Amino acid sequence: MNLRTIISSCVLALISFPSCASSTWVDNRYAHITAVERNQYKIGVGHEFDSGAVILASSIYEMGKNFNQFKSSFQEYEGWYPVALTDRLTLLPGALVDTDTDGTKVGGSAMLDYRLARGLSAGGRYRYNHMTYKQRDLSQDMAYNDAHQIDLFVNYQATDKLWLQFNPQYTVNAGDFNSANGHKTHWETSIVAQYRLNKRWMPYTELAWLDEDQNNDNQFRLRIGIKYFLP
């Protein structure tokens, strides 16, 4: 699936969504993962409606350890819709679809976000990730490699232009599968910073710890990106 297909799908979703548009952006991002020494590039589009609903579509490419390739890795589609429960508490149901050469992963989620103070909020999200194809598990049986994912989000609007987020994530494999660390559970913890240069440009960076690999080496991921908001 190429970028044209992704953008076309996103535009179709925008047209069919029952709300007025508020902002649309293009997202370019580079990522490096230590231990495995992977380099990745992401191109994506996103749209936020006046209602607060968001839809995203992106394509990720592997660039190799020495930037000697540009191979499509997977495509991702995500969306959520806010439902105000009180003036401080918001429910955000969402969905995720990942596709690659092996098949498709779908996820359904529910998040509760609580506004603690002006510019400060905290939330918790549960997502169930389901693989639509079977893989061979630790017992050599064919099964679905599903997982339970729990996230904690702390968001802080430090200034009118600077936004920070802290996001610990805990994942438990539902079946007889191990994660990259050799265990059924793993942690990921990330810190994100975004800065609004002007009405068009927003650079951002993310540093994440991706638990250990099977050699007990810590894995870290650095992401550097920039969003361009369309007129």
**Domains of the chain, first to last:** 3-229 (2.40.160.40)
Which tokens sit at 43? Answer: 């191109």
By three-state DSSP, how is residue 76 classified?
A: strand
Which of the four pLDDT bands, split at 50, 70 and 90, describes residue 214? confident
Reduced 3-state DSSP string for the chain: CCHHHHHHHHHHHHHHCCCCEEEEEEEEEEEEECCCCEEEEEEEEEEEECCCCEEEEEEEEECCCCCCCCEEEEEEEEEECCEECCCCEEEEEEEEEEECCCCEEEEEEEEEEEEEECCEEEEEEEEEEEECCEEECCCCCEEECCEEEEEEEEEEECCCCEEEEEEEEEEEECCCCCCCCCCCEEEEEEEEEEECCCCCEEEEEEEEEEEECCCCCEEEEEEEEEEEECC
The pLDDT of residue 53 is above 60: yes
What pLDDT, on a 0 to 100 scale, did the predictor assign at position 7? 44
Select the highest-mean-pLDDT range: 1-10, 64-73, 146-155. 146-155
DSSP states of 146-184 = -EEEEEEEEEEE-SSSEEEEEEEEEEEESSS---TTSSS
In whole angstroms, give the CA distance from residue 220 to residue 209: 5
What pLDDT, on a 0 to 100 scale, did the predictor assign at position 1? 44
What pLDDT, on a 0 to 100 scale, did the predictor assign at position 18? 42
Q: What is the reported pTM?
A: 0.87
For range 131-141, the mean pLDDT: 95
Cβ neighbours, 10 Å, residue 148: 14
In percent, the amount of the chain with pLDDT more than 70 equals 91
pLDDT, tens only, 76-90: 999 999 999 999 999
The pLDDT of residue 169 is above 50: yes
Cβ neighbours, 10 Å, residue 86: 8
Which of the four pLDDT bands, split at 50, 70 and 90, describes residue 213? confident
What pLDDT, on a 0 to 100 scale, did the predictor assign at position 43? 98
What pLDDT, on a 0 to 100 scale, did the predictor assign at position 13? 44
For range 61-66, the mean pLDDT: 94
Which tokens sit at 159? Answer: 């200034």
DSSP class of residue 66 equals T
